[in-house]
């Protein structure tokens, strides 16, 4: 079989950044002659892009490897991504895995494919290549084109913070960014390909603006990081890109979300009134133990500022339960704090010990059963917040970007302020921003009717 006729299937674990990177890896391999197929189809190679945040990354990788080998028992299994960087040997010993590639070379995978044995040898330990993370000295632009309406565009990678529970800096390295000029160029390319909405993605995007001399290569050179630009300048430049109707900021640290940015979003027609701001805990004592760079007062001020200029804005919150030392009282502080905040939904994570982090050696561990109970309590609070947020907007007419696909005779899309909206299917409205009157709340979406049918058909 020639390289030209090889088929490759992809599976991504984790965040939007990983999805953007898998898409870029796939596009590059396609240019080299590898044909992309679906993961449940037969393939010559299965590539798994792993995540270090995923609970039980090891177990999940094993399950996916088994799934791949059920489709094609002789296929080669390649594993890359954050978990492959952190635990290369552990992944290499998973039955069926042939090759493990760490962070430095995840965009140069084909150079390692030639080292795979011609025939799959079951029971053999995989070959693995990981790097010293301090040597990762490049930024690789990436974007995903998932549903052809929205794209996730990577603008920043790595993190210079040292939150005590987090392995991301160990898996992805130092904070570094694309240049504004290059992000704008990519946004223009995405507009050309019909994309209407771009979600700006990174590890710590508020820290955008640190550049390396060598932005695209990974040649082991010593490079000096320099802050040349900043996130506020980036959003102002993107606001002028024609063809893209919407931008969303995926997630931004509260200490980096400045008043000027909030005011800018409030006045922009393109930046949507939607913020996702990690909180992690509502108790200052726990925030200090996590080495977060803010206390709850900063968080309150961010929420109040947003709501003062955009009362309709959607605010999502990340929170971790069961961090060491989180007593019942401190957990209650978090519950009370979030209850009192005007926020719209939560993403709840159960704390789990990660090797080589400061928090892993902290002594006041919380039993797993209690961590899970707390997770459940906060998920219920999230549902309450979301239902309240959805109900607040019933009767309003809001702009909705509908996706391309039809599901059960319905169009599905998101309003400017991130309400999930469904309306009867009409192909005239797919991949378009349409005013929709919000009629009623259903389980996890809002039923809407398209507000001015004639106007939309005419334009």
Burial class from Cβ neighbours inside 10 Å (0-12, 13-18, 19+) for residue 74 reads exposed
Instruction: For residue 166, state whether it binds ligand SF4 (rule: CB under 6 A).
Output: yes
Q: Smallest distance from the beta carbon of 4 to ligand SF4, in angstroms?
A: 39
Closer by beta carbon to ligand SF4, 103 or else 204 = 204
Closer by beta carbon to ligand SF4, 170 or else 436 = 170
Q: Smallest distance from the beta carbon of 105 to ligand SF4, in angstroms?
A: 22
Instruction: For residue 12, state whether it binds ligand SF4 (rule: CB under 6 A).
Output: no
Instruction: For residue 99, state whether it binds ligand SF4 (rule: CB under 6 A).
Output: no
Tokens at 191, concatenated: 């507009």
Closer by beta carbon to ligand SF4, 159 or else 438 = 159
Q: Smallest distance from the beta carbon of 129 to ligand SF4, in angstroms?
A: 24
- Return the range that interacts with ligand SF4 (CB under 6 A); candidates 7-15, 161-169, 328-336, 422-430: 161-169
Instruction: For residue 18, state whether it binds ligand SF4 (rule: CB under 6 A).
Output: no
- Return the range that interacts with ligand SF4 (CB under 6 A); candidates 20-28, 163-171, 225-233, 380-388: 163-171
Please pick, from the candidates 88, 169, 282, 448, the single residue that binds ligand SF4 as defined by CB under 6 A. 169
Q: Smallest distance from the beta carbon of 90 to ligand SF4, in angstroms?
A: 21
Which residue from 243, 172, 228 is spatially nearest to 201, judged by alpha carbons?
Answer: 172
Contacts (CB under 6 A) with ligand SF4, residues 424-453: none
Instruction: For residue 51, state whether it binds ligand SF4 (rule: CB under 6 A).
Output: no
Instruction: For residue 39, state whether it binds ligand SF4 (rule: CB under 6 A).
Output: no
Instruction: For residue 159, state whether it binds ligand SF4 (rule: CB under 6 A).
Output: yes
Count of residues touching ligand SF4 (by CB under 6 A): 9
Contacts for 245 with CB less than 8 Å, ≥ 6 apart: 196, 197, 270, 401, 433
Contacts (CB under 6 A) with ligand SF4, residues 250-309: 253
Instruction: For residue 15, state whether it binds ligand SF4 (rule: CB under 6 A).
Output: no
Measured between alpha carbons, how far apart are the two ends of the chain, in Å?
52
Contacts for 144 with CB less than 8 Å, ≥ 6 apart: 16, 19, 20, 22, 23, 24, 151, 152
Closer by beta carbon to ligand SF4, 254 or else 413 = 254
Q: Smallest distance from the beta carbon of 311 to ligand SF4, in angstroms?
A: 29
Instruction: For residue 180, state whether it binds ligand SF4 (rule: CB under 6 A).
Output: no
Q: Smallest distance from the beta carbon of 159 to ligand SF4, in angstroms?
A: 3
Q: Smallest distance from the beta carbon of 291 to ligand SF4, in angstroms?
A: 8
Query: Cα(79)–Cα(334) distance, rounded to whole angstroms?
Result: 38
Contacts (CB under 6 A) with ligand SF4, residues 185-244: 203-204
The two beta strands, 197-201 and 246-249, are parallel
Instruction: For residue 163, state whether it binds ligand SF4 (rule: CB under 6 A).
Output: yes
Q: Smallest distance from the beta carbon of 161 to ligand SF4, in angstroms?
A: 4
Closer by beta carbon to ligand SF4, 161 or else 425 = 161
Please pick, from the candidates 168, 341, 403, 434, the single residue that binds ligand SF4 as defined by CB under 6 A. 168
Rule CB under 6 A: which residues touch ligand SF4? 159, 161, 163, 166, 168-169, 203-204, 253
């Amino acid at each position: 079989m020639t390289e030209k006729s090889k088929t490759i299937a992809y599976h991504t674990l984790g965040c939007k950044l990983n999805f953007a990177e898998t898409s870029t890896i796939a596009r590059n391999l396609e240019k080299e002659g590898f044909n992309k197929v679906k993961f449940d189809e037969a393939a010559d190679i299965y590539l798994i892009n792993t995540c270090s945040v995923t609970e039980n990354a090891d177990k999940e990788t094993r399950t996916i490897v088994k799934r791949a080998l059920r489709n094609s028992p002789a296929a080669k299994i390649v594993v890359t991504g954050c978990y492959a960087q952190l635990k290369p040997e552990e992944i290499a010993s998973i039955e069926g895995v042939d090759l493990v590639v760490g962070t430095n070379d995840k965009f140069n995978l084909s150079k390692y494919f030639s080292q795979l044995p011609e025939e799959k040898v079951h029971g053999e330990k995989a070959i693995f290549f990981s790097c010293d993370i301090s040597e990762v000295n490049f930024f690789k632009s990436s974007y995903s084109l998932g549903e052809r309406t929205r794209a996730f565009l990577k603008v920043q990678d790595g993190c210079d913070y040292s939150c005590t529970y987090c392995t991301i800096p160990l898996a992805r390295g130092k904070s570094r960014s694309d240049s504004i000029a290059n992000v704008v160029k990519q946004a223009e390319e995405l507009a050309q390909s019909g994309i209407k909405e771009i979600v700006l993605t990174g590890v710590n995007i508020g820290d955008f603006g640190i550049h390396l001399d060598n932005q695209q290569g990974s040649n082991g050179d010593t490079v000096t990081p320099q802050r040349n630009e900043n996130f506020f300048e980036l959003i102002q430049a993107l606001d002028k890109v024609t063809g893209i109707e919407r931008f969303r900021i995926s997630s931004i640290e509260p200490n980096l979300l400045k008043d000027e940015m909030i005011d800018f979003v409030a006045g922009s027609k393109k930046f949507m009134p939607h913020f996702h701001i990690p909180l992690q805990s509502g108790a200052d004592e726990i925030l200090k133990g996590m080495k977060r760079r803010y206390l709850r007062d900063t968080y309150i001020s961010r929420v109040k500022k947003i709501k003062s200029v955009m009362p309709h804005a959607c605010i999502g919150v990340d929170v971790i339960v069961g961090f060491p030392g989180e007593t019942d009282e401190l957990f209650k502080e978090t519950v009370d704090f979030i209850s009192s905040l005007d926020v719209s939904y939560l993403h709840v994570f159960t704390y789990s010990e990660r090797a080589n982090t400061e928090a892993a050696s902290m002594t006041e561990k919380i039993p797993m059963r209690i961590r899970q109970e707390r997770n459940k309590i906060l998920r219920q609070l999230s549902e309450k917040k979301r239902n309240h947020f959805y109900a607040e907007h019933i009767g309003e007419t809001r702009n909705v970007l509908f996706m391309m696909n039809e599901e059960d005779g319905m169009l599905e899309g998101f309003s400017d302020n991130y309400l999930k909206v469904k309306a009867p299917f009409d192909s005239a409205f797919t991949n378009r921003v349409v005013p929709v009157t919000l009629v009623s709340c259903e389980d996890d979406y809002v039923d809407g009717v398209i507000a001015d049918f004639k106007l939309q058909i005419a334009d």
